[in-house]
Amino acid sequence: MKLALGPVLYYWTREALLDFYAGVADSAADIVYLGEVVCARRHHLRLDDWLALASDLSASGKEVVLSSQALIESESDLRTLRRIVANGDFTVEANDMGAVRLLAGRVPFVAGPHLNIYNGETLAWFARLGASRFVLPLELSRDILRELQSARPAGMQTEVFAYGRMPLAFSARCFTARHHNLPKDDCQFRCLEDADGLALQTRDKAAFLTLNGIQTQSALVYDLSDSIGELRSLGVDVVRLSPQSRNMIEIIESFRERCAGRPGASLEGLRVAPPCNGYWHGVPGMEYRTPT
């Protein structure tokens, strides 16, 4: 199984991003997804910067994929999307059907986690359009994955989101700006303050969700590190780890060991929050089941 580092879902400074990817270049990750998936207003790295970073990482031996924005609302979003699709060098992860229209029948692409590939027929349709890999929707279980794998088209790779706070929802509204009583159009980029998102608790102080601009994430960290054997036996090709602001290189290393069949360092103390894995077991996503 290959290890993929998903796109950074938060807004980090240019310096923080470049530092992070300098570390990634020397890490055990095989595949690196790059680009801004959440909010078009974030601009510390522009597309040209992402492309330069892609070239550097590629020269370090990484397979680089450019991830496209999940919620595409405006003509300006579409212009960026067209430039990503036309980059000529790197595979694109489509996270919206608009991106699929621009890619289908032209170049192989990755069908991202937000395209809603829930069943074998839809997976087969994406294969015919030219998808070479698909990312399982987060809310699907291992039992559904087993069914999808049994009907998987030839040449299609399967990727599973296996670590990180889960992107559960997208809105037109920016919840970070709302928290600071700012309009979205004048958000003052306050999401820069939250390197791993802004914690939302219930009124009895339970960690519940994480606000990340227009995206809402789980508070808990999805963690399939103890189910790597199961992922392998299900024929999963790629395991996706979603970046957090600290300890990421150690987490990648632990997964590398586990993928090689060795124990790997414990992730206790490395995660930014306690783990959950309910979706994998077919129960509410926030639950944690001890792997069998």
Partner 1 sequence: MSVPELVCPAGNLPSLKVAVDNGADWVYMGLKDDTNARNFAGLNFDAASARAGLRYAHAAGAKMLLAINTYPQGLASPRWQRAIDSAAELGIDAVILADAGLMNYAAERHSQLRLHLSVQTSATNYEAINFYHERFGIARAVLPRVLSLAQVADVVKNTPVPIEVFGFGSLCVMVEGRCALSSYVTGESPNTRGVCSPAKAVRWEKHGDILDVRLNGILIDRFAAAENAGYPTLCKGRFNVEDETYYAIEEPSSLNAMALLPELANIGIAAIKIEGRQRGPAYVAAVTRIWRAAIDAHAQNPAGFSVHADWANGLARVAEGQQHTLGAYHRKWK
By CB under 8 A, the residues from 158 to 187 that bind partner 1 are 166, 168-175, 178-179, 183-185
Interaction of residue 152 with partner 1, rule CB under 8 A: no
- Integer Cα distance of 208 and 284 in angstroms: 13
Residues 119-138 that bind partner 1 (CB under 8 A): 119-126, 137-138
Q: Is 204 helix (H, G, I), strand (E, B) or coil?
A: coil
For residue 74, which phi and psi values (nearest 5 degrees)?
A: -125, 170
How far, CA to CA in Å, does 159 sit from each of 14, 33, 74? Answer: 28, 12, 29
Interaction of residue 89 with partner 1, rule CB under 8 A: no
The answer to whether the beta carbons of residues 247 and 225 sit under 8 Å apart is no
Residues 268-287 that bind partner 1 (CB under 8 A): 278-279, 282-286
Interaction of residue 147 with partner 1, rule CB under 8 A: yes
> Which of 4, 37, 72, 135 is the binder for partner 1 (CB under 8 A)?
72
Residues 218-257 that bind partner 1 (CB under 8 A): 218
Interaction of residue 118 with partner 1, rule CB under 8 A: yes
Interaction of residue 86 with partner 1, rule CB under 8 A: no
Question: Least CB distance from residue 185 to partner 1, whole Å?
Answer: 7
For residue 7, which phi and psi values (nearest 5 degrees)?
A: -65, 150
Residue 285 sits at the vertex; the CA angle it makes with 283 and 291, to the nearest 5 degrees, is: 65
Question: Least CB distance from residue 35 to partner 1, whole Å?
Answer: 17
For residue 14, which phi and psi values (nearest 5 degrees)?
A: -55, -45
Interaction of residue 73 with partner 1, rule CB under 8 A: yes
How far, CA to CA in Å, does 272 sit from each of 10, 98, 269? Answer: 14, 34, 8
The answer to whether the beta carbons of residues 64 and 34 sit under 8 Å apart is yes
Q: Is 203 exposed, middle or buried (0-12, 13-18, 19+ CB in 10 A)?
A: exposed
Nearer to partner 1, 43 or 82 (CB): 82
Interaction of residue 102 with partner 1, rule CB under 8 A: yes
Question: Least CB distance from residue 143 to partner 1, whole Å?
Answer: 7
Residues 191-210 that bind partner 1 (CB under 8 A): 198-206, 208-209
Nearer to partner 1, 45 or 209 (CB): 209
Interaction of residue 260 with partner 1, rule CB under 8 A: no
Question: Least CB distance from residue 257 to partner 1, whole Å?
Answer: 29
Nearer to partner 1, 89 or 147 (CB): 147
The answer to whether the beta carbons of residues 143 and 120 sit under 8 Å apart is no
- Integer Cα distance of 158 and 234 in angstroms: 10
Quick note: the x/- pattern for partner 1 over 4-43, rule CB under 8 A, is ----------------------------------------
Question: Least CB distance from residue 90 to partner 1, whole Å?
Answer: 20
End-to-end C-alpha distance for the chain, whole angstroms: 21
Using the 8-state DSSP alphabet, how is residue 248 labeled?
H
